[in-house]
Amino acid sequence: MGPGSEQPVLADPKRIRMSQSVSMSAGAGGGGSFSQTVYQNRIDYRLSDPLTLHLNLGFLTPLQTTGVYSQGMQKGTYLLPDVGLDYRPSESTLISLRYTSVPSAPLGSPGGLPWH
């Protein structure tokens, strides 16, 4: 095939699947309270028939913190990645390589993030 006879892989809209979600959470106890919202955008892109790229982006926005939660609670908006490649050569075989951001503290504790 000559140059220009095929559409480049990264420009083919038939290969992409995207979904979004928004969630809010709140907690109280131990002399404080917090509330936050998370926007997630998941993008799956089929690079070739057995190979798919996954990208999950999220923006965390703390809305309000009081008491013990305001000490050390991460402020502002954060980008939290989850990236991976899935190779599925057959229905019964899947090889998956992933990088997932893991919070350093549990949700609701100072510095905690609601992520994988």
* Residues in the chain where the model's pLDDT stays below 70: 1-10, 68-80, 102-116
Query: Which single residue is written with the structure tokens 């982006």?
Result: 57
pLDDT tens per residue, range 42-60 = 999 999 889 999 998 887 7
Query: Which single residue is written with the structure tokens 């609601």?
Result: 114
pLDDT for 3: 53
pLDDT for 49: 86
pLDDT for 18: 94
